[in-house]
A and B are shown apart, each in its own frame.
Chain A
Amino acid sequence: MKRHTRDAYAEALVELGRKRPEVVVLDADLSVSTRTARFAEAFPDRFFNCGIAEQNMLGIAAGLAASGKIPFVSTFAVFASMRACEQIRQSIAYPRLKVRVVASHGGITVGADGASHQCTEDAGVMRAIPNMTVVIPADATETAWAVHQIVDIPGPVYMRLGRPAAPVVYPDASRLRWGKVTLLREGSDVVLLGTGIMVSRCLEASAILEAEGVEAAVGAVSVLKPLDEESVVALARRCGAVVTAEEHSVIGGLGSAVCECLAERYPVPVRRVGIGDVFGQSGEPDQLLAHYGLTPEAIAEAALEVIRRKQS
């Protein structure tokens, strides 16, 4: 079963809006795509379409937050994280304002629009900014749950959603603990740590590995910053080998975060499955995922390699 994370976002946002009058929503002429149009319909007086002017939008959000509002700001990930990057840094993150940047169209599964609209750098960029919390939910269930979690975090939040419908990982939110790695499968030969849509692909990879007699643990890392280092270290200690999987550049995202942690605290062989140091291109989402090696097979192959490395 698949479901759009942005649909889940919009529904949760309307629900949140009913409970919390201080929640306001801003968009930059993409409210149909990001689905914030649903909030606009429900609460026209609390929705601001800022037009095609992302830098100004993030600044307005800062001013609203400085005046007691809790703005949720949506546009495509590439524009949120980079077009308005310095506005997020200076106007929002530096003063620790409660602005929630919820960016849709993260990663390469944006598809046919090509590299200009595909965002493979956002987690790295946002992770480098002090005070920022960085979230990539695994599916629609977690997205809806996370909307209610992030609203009261005492600082800025960047949350990334995708364009296509994402496989549902969680039937309900009962297993989720904010900020913690969710262990989806026990195993002791290797741990597969995924984020976003790659979580379901890690689960598929674990089935492939099981057929080869390999017991892979699978952990979902939705909060990339602050990273749940205790769980990452514990899983590395138990399994002795780690594969990370993300729809993001191998520079700066989950793979980097895990390597930074393990290099200092518990070095074990690691392979980062992600997009190499290249731009994307036009194509269908599944074609692109295959082209850039973001498949269950590629994760399983990486797992076998790190297992060999730990044994040698």
Chain B
Amino acid sequence: MLKDGQLQFLQEKARVVRRHVLRMIGLAGSGHPGGSLSCVEVLVTLYFTVMRIRPEDPGWPERDRLVLSKGHAAPALYAVLAERGYFPVEELWTLRKLGSRLQGHPDMRKTPGVEVCTGSLGQGLSQAVGMALAGRMDGADFHVYCLVGDGECEEGQIWEAVMAAAHYRLGNLTVILDHNGLQIDGPIRQVLCPEPFPEKWRAFGWECVEVDGHDFGQLYDSLLRPERPSSVPRVVVAHTVKGKGVSYMENRVEWHGKAPGPELLRIALEELER
């Protein structure tokens, strides 16, 4: 359970992160606002409450890891990392610019706090499996979190990794499925339906819970690491709204990968002032 006052703090962080995301993408002139805004609460919960991390020492071996398998949500991750102190907030405005440490998709060699190189969908979860295996081999206590998109589950490699994680009994791995229902070409149910998620993941041997992906209380309770060592990997299906927080972007497929112009950016930032 979240403690008193924590909820307000997290809500405020999410609001600030959303404003960063929009300004970053607006300044860059390109990027993916829809899927960045849908996972803001997930990332804020992880980085501000659940994960054991040391922003001043990003390579700390015992740190919990977050693998952003849906790499196009990089702006949300960068904004959270900056707010958490991994690098200065001012650096966010260099997103996608030549020479920037903030690449269009996550680059572990450039950005402090970024764990893997993603952006080609379907690959992050396999890497998370490798990290969880390494942790177990070393008897390390870290937990691996992996944020996967719902459209991303159309990639076959996801299911190879899902199978492997259960086979290797990786209780130190938690997947958060950002289930916003939309992909570039339309609703996931129309393009190539990867549902039903809970049934599929459970059939592959995972523990599954469903939460409101914008509700901090539910996210916190579901993302806390298991109290006792577990041998079953866990998926948290987070029901989310693509473009969450900006009226004209919410549930609109065309805002998957488009930057708002100056006027629309102004409107969006205004909406997020309160």
In the complex the two chains form, is A91's CB within 8 Å of B117's CB? yes
Q: How many angstroms from the CA of A90 to the CA of B123 in the assembled complex?
A: 8
Residues of the A chain whose Cβ atoms lie less than 8 Å from the Cβ of B168: 48
Question: In the bound complex, how far is the Cα of B201 from the Cα of A89, in angstroms?
Answer: 28
In the complex, chain B residues whose CB is within 8 Å of the CB of A65: 130
- Interface range on chain B (Cβ under 8 Å from partner): 35 or more
A69 within 8 A of partner (CB): yes
Which residues of A sit under 8 angstroms from B115, Cβ to Cβ?
66
A86 to B156, CA, bound (A): 14
Q: Are A59 and B127 in contact (CB under 8 A)?
A: yes
- Tell me whether A53 and B117 are in contact in the complex, defined as CB-CB below 8 angstroms, given that A60-B133, A95-B109 are known contacts: no
Determine the distance from Cα of A65 to Cα of B138 in the docked complex, in whole angstroms: 13
| A66 engages B116 (CB within 8 Å) | yes
How does the 8 Å CB contact mask read for A34-76 relative to B, with 1 for contact and 0 for none? 0000000000011010110101111111111111110100000
User: Are B130 and A62 in contact, CB atoms less than 8 angstroms apart?
Assistant: yes
Minimum CB–CB distance for B149 against chain A, Å: 16
Give Cα A63 to B124, complex, Å.
Answer: 9
With a cutoff of 8 Å between Cβ atoms, the chain A residues found around residue B131 in the complex are 63-64, 66-67
Decide if A94 is an interface residue (CB 8 Å cutoff).
Answer: yes
Interface assignment of A87: CB less than 8 Å from any CB of chain B: yes
Whether B123 pairs with A91 at a CB distance below 8 angstroms is yes
Which single residue of chain B is at the shortest CB-CB distance from A65?
A: B130
Q: How far is the CA of A177 from the CA of B15 in the complex (A)?
A: 59
Question: What is the total of A-B residue contacts with beta carbons within 8 Å?
Answer: 105
Is residue B218 within 8 Å, beta carbon to beta carbon, of the partner chain?
no
- B161 near A56 with CB under 8 A, answer yes
Given contacts A55-B157, A95-B108, contact A63 B133 (CB under 8 A): yes
- In the assembly, what is the distance between CA of A59 and CA of B157, in Å? 9
Residues from chain A with Cβ under 8 Å of B270 in the complex: none
CB of B128 closer than 8 Å to a CB of A:
yes
Q: How many Å lie between the Cα of A65 and that of B127 in the bound state? A: 9
Q: Beyond A87-B157, A91-B117, is A59–B135 a contact (Cβ under 8 Å)?
A: no
Residue of A60, A67, A69 touching B126 (CB-CB under 8 A): A60
Tell me how far the C-beta of A182 lies from the nearest C-beta in chain B, rounded to whole angstroms.
34
A residues less than 8 Å from B167 (CB atoms) = 51
Contact among B120, B125, B127 for A66, CB-based, below 8 A = B127
A249 to B157, CA, bound (A): 29
Tell me if B257 is interfacial: C-beta within 8 Å of chain A: no
Please name the residue on chain B nearest to A87 by beta carbon: B123
B137 touches A63 (CB 8 A): no
Q: Is B211 part of the contact surface with A, judged by Cβ < 8 Å? A: no
Please name all residues of chain A whose beta carbon is closer than 8 Å to the beta carbon of B68 when the two chains form the complex: none
Contacts of B164 in A (CB 8 A): 50-51, 53, 56, 60
A96 at the interface (CB under 8 A from B): yes
Bound-complex Cα distance A56 to B69 (A): 13
**What separation, in Å, do the CA atoms of A50 and B161 have in the docked complex?**
9
Q: Is the CB of A59 within 8 A of B126?
A: yes
Task: Tell me, in angstroms, the Cα distance from A61 to B131 when the chains sit together.
Answer: 9
Query: Which B residues between 80 and 136 are near A, CB-CB below 8 angstroms?
Result: 107-109, 115-120, 122-135
Interface residues in B159-180 by Cβ distance below 8 A to A read 160-161, 163-164, 167-168
A53 B130 Cβ-Cβ under 8 A = no
A62-B133 in contact (CB<8A): no
Q: Which residues of B contact A56 (CB under 8 A)?
A: 126, 129, 157, 160-161, 163-164
A252-287 contacts to B, CB under 8 A, are none
Task: Assess the B126–A68 pair: CB atoms within 8 A.
Answer: no
Docked Cα-Cα span, A91 to B124, in Å, equals 8
Q: Which residue, A55, A59, A68, has most C-beta atoms of chain B within 10 A?
A: A59
Q: In the bound complex, how far is the Cα of B168 from the Cα of A71, in angstroms?
A: 17
| Closest chain B CB from A22 CB (angstroms) | 10
From known contacts A64-B130, A64-B133, A95-B109, infer whether A59 and B117 are also in contact, taking CB-CB under 8 Å: no
The 3 A-B residue pairs with the shortest CB-CB distance in the complex, in nearest-first order:
A63-B130, A59-B126, A67-B134
Name A's B-contacting residues (CB within 8 A). Answer: 24, 45-46, 48, 50-51, 53, 55-69, 71, 86-87, 90-91, 94-96
25 A-B pairs (CB sep. < 8 Å): A48-B133, A53-B163, A55-B123, A55-B126, A55-B157, A56-B161, A56-B163, A59-B126, A60-B126, A62-B126, A63-B116, A63-B127, A63-B128, A63-B134, A66-B115, A67-B134, A67-B135, A67-B138, A68-B134, A69-B134, A71-B130, A95-B107, A95-B108, A95-B117, A96-B109
